Amino acid sequence: MQRVRVRVSTARQEAYEIIIGAGTLARLGDVARRSLSPHVRRLVIVSNQKVFSLYGERAAQSLREEGFSIAHWLMGDGERYKTAATLTRLLAFFSESGLERSDAVVALGGGVVGDLAGFAAAVYLRGIAFLQVPTTLLAQVDASVGGKVAVNTSAGKNLIGAFHHPRAVLIDTNTLQSLPPREMTAGWCESIKQGAAGDRHLFDGTCSFLRHHTLDTALARKQGLERLIAAQVAFKASIVAGDEREELTRNDHRSRRILNFGHTIAHALESITRYRRFRHGEAVGYGMLVAGEISKRLGLLATSELELLRDAVRLCGRLPRADDLREDEILSRIAHDKKMIDGQLNWVLLERIGRARIVEGREIERRLLRSSLRAGLKNISEKRKSEGEV
């Protein structure tokens, strides 16, 4: 079992703990008891049907053993349920079940559940405590750490949100055994992103795990995964601790913004395919390749480093094709997103693996952008063709 402490600077708490290990779900009650105030009596587990049927009973049992009274509430499965309408229903449930300011919420599921339940906890009675129990790789390495919680509106993703830190995060790596392969690929892409944007050692460790873990014994694989997730979480925690609220004025290589590496293109790809073709992390896989191509063409990144990035994205798993998407459509989507964020578009680019540079959008020519798109989006499918597949 590994533990990572995250420093935060809110009035309510100065730190919280992330516990990572195989089978740790059975210790949820104990973690809740230690991290929540002694006044907490009632807990609402927020989840969805799929995850709750796999892990809900184990979670509830462990909490009951510590004397908590438990209710649960299940939301629909998928990003399209991360809305204000779902939020309203959840808040009504909190109120009907008599949840008080001294009670708490447990988010059991992927990033969708974590973001929605976390936001509900942030606004219910002006904020109550919550615990994160992330069950997807993406949520374990990224979404559950850092205190950002939100819901989507018709005008955009995560448009209504807050910063609300959990009191603890419990990561049971065994829950990944039931996760579909595409969800693992998506989580690996975000893991590669974290290493590429800010930590060469983490990047190498992630690649090495992806290259060799199939050859390891089951025990070595388990331990390797646990150590790697802990390293990923520690990295994210260190960036967040240095720039908790993602200050707009910060542009340096340790600002929270570097975690958006690959995301300008990723959001455009997701949006022009109406969120149907790519899992978010898969789109980030392509987004990193395009950002890498831009970095190379601007003379920031050596070709050998870009090659490392390509290898790393390939190691994450197969991505849906992207070379049939129209460049014009991608470019106009980026322009549209730019308007949404005050006309400021900052690209997170790379100087080398492990060191990001934030560059203003207007410094990048359209022609360069086009050729980078062409090169970045064809990358993975070319590899597929050369492997003799259709």
Ligand X SMILES: NC(=O)c1ccc[n+]([C@@H]2O[C@H](COP(=O)([O-])OP(=O)(O)OC[C@H]3O[C@@H](n4cnc5c(N)ncnc54)[C@H](O)[C@@H]3O)[C@@H](O)[C@H]2O)c1
E-state strands within 216-332: none
Give catalytic status of residue 370 as yes or no: no
- Please tell me whether residue 299 adopts helix, strand or coil conformation: coil
- Which of 17, 30, 66, 77 binds ligand X (CB under 6 A)? It is 77
With beta carbons less than 8 A apart as the criterion, state whether 288 and 196 touch.
yes
**Shorter beta-carbon distance to ligand X: residue 161 or 374:** 161
40 vs 128, which CB is nearer to ligand X?
128
Least CB distance from residue 183 to ligand X, whole Å? 5
Contacts of 135 (CB under 8 A, 6+ apart): 51, 54, 55, 108, 109, 110, 172, 175, 176, 179
The reply on whether position 186 binds ligand X by CB under 6 A is yes
User: Scanning the structure block, which residue is given the tokens 């080398």?
Assistant: 352
Contact indicator for 153, 61 with CB cutoff of 8 Å = no
Interacting stretch for ligand X, rule CB under 6 A, among 94-102, 132-140, 299-307, 341-349? 132-140
DSSP class of 123? H
Q: Which two tokens stand for residue 238?
A: 């260190």
Give the chain's count of helices (H) and strands (E): 14, 11
Please say whether the beta carbons of 68 and 4 come within 8 A: no
User: According to CB under 6 A, which residues from 195 to 254 bind ligand X?
Assistant: none
- Of residues 95, 178, 208, 344, which one binds ligand X by CB under 6 A? 178
The tokens for 88 are 């309203």
The CA distance from 362 to 349, in Å, is 14
337 binds ligand X (CB under 6 A): no
Kindly write out the interface string for residues 243-282 of this chain, putting x where it contacts ligand X by CB under 6 A and - elsewhere: -------------------------------------x--
Tokens of 106: 């447990």
| Residue 193 in contact with ligand X, rule: CB under 6 A | no
Residues 9-48 that bind ligand X (CB under 6 A): 48
User: Do the strands 346-352 and 355-360 form a parallel or antiparallel pair, or are they unpaired?
Assistant: antiparallel
Catalytic residue among 48, 82, 148, 152: 148
Compute the least distance from the CB of residue 188 to ligand X, in Å: 12
- 82 labelled catalytic: no
Residues that bind ligand X (CB under 6 A): 48, 50-51, 54, 77-79, 82, 109-113, 115, 135-136, 138-139, 142-143, 146, 148, 158, 175, 178-179, 183, 186, 280
- Residues annotated as catalytic are 126, 148, 190, 236, 246, 250, 260, 263, 267, 280
